[in-house]
Amino acid sequence: MPHPNLIGGYHEIAVTSSKKKVKPEQDMFIGRFQTDQKYHLLGYRPYGRSDLFSAESESRQDLGVVELPANKSKLSELVKGELIKIISDGKESDSYKVYFCNRK
């Protein structure tokens, strides 16, 4: 069962840790929460490894707030190579960045 604070469903996107890398490295599960109306990272798995980790099992957590590029407000507006920031535990110091590859 997905995270209880989700509005609607969640999105599955492929990301990489470097803009120079061509192939995606991870599938990320992202959804908008009722509590703050922001996107949150619900879980992730190695790219394409649904045989090891199901979408259902990876969409239950709250691993941080997802910050989209300044001119974007929806995941559907992202284009390949755009930077996405994940802010873990609400701390800027615990944040990390990934690059969008595609929607699944």
* AA letter at 48: G
4: in domain: no
Report which of 72, 57, 63, 56 is spatially closest to residue 33, judged by C-alpha positions. 63
Mapping DSSP to helix (H, G, I), strand (E, B) and coil, where does residue 92 land?
Answer: helix
**1 within some domain:** no
Give a yes or no: residue 45 inside a domain: yes
**Does a structural domain hold residue 5?**
no
Tens of each residue's pLDDT in the chain, 104 residues: 778 899 888 999 999 999 888 899 999 999 999 999 999 999 999 998 998 888 888 889 999 999 999 999 999 999 999 999 999 876 777 789 999 999 87
Number of domains composing the chain: 1
The two structure tokens encoding residue 95: 């944040």
Residue 59 is assigned to a structural domain of this protein? yes
Q: Is 6 within the bounds of a domain?
A: no
**Per the domain annotation, does 3 fall within a domain?**
no
Position 89 scores a pLDDT of: 77
The Cα 53–Cα 71 span in angstroms is: 33
Domain of residue 77, residue span: 11-103
Q: Is residue 81 part of a domain?
A: yes
Radius of gyration of the chain (CA): 13
pLDDT value of position 20: 86
Task: Name 84's bridge partners.
Answer: 98
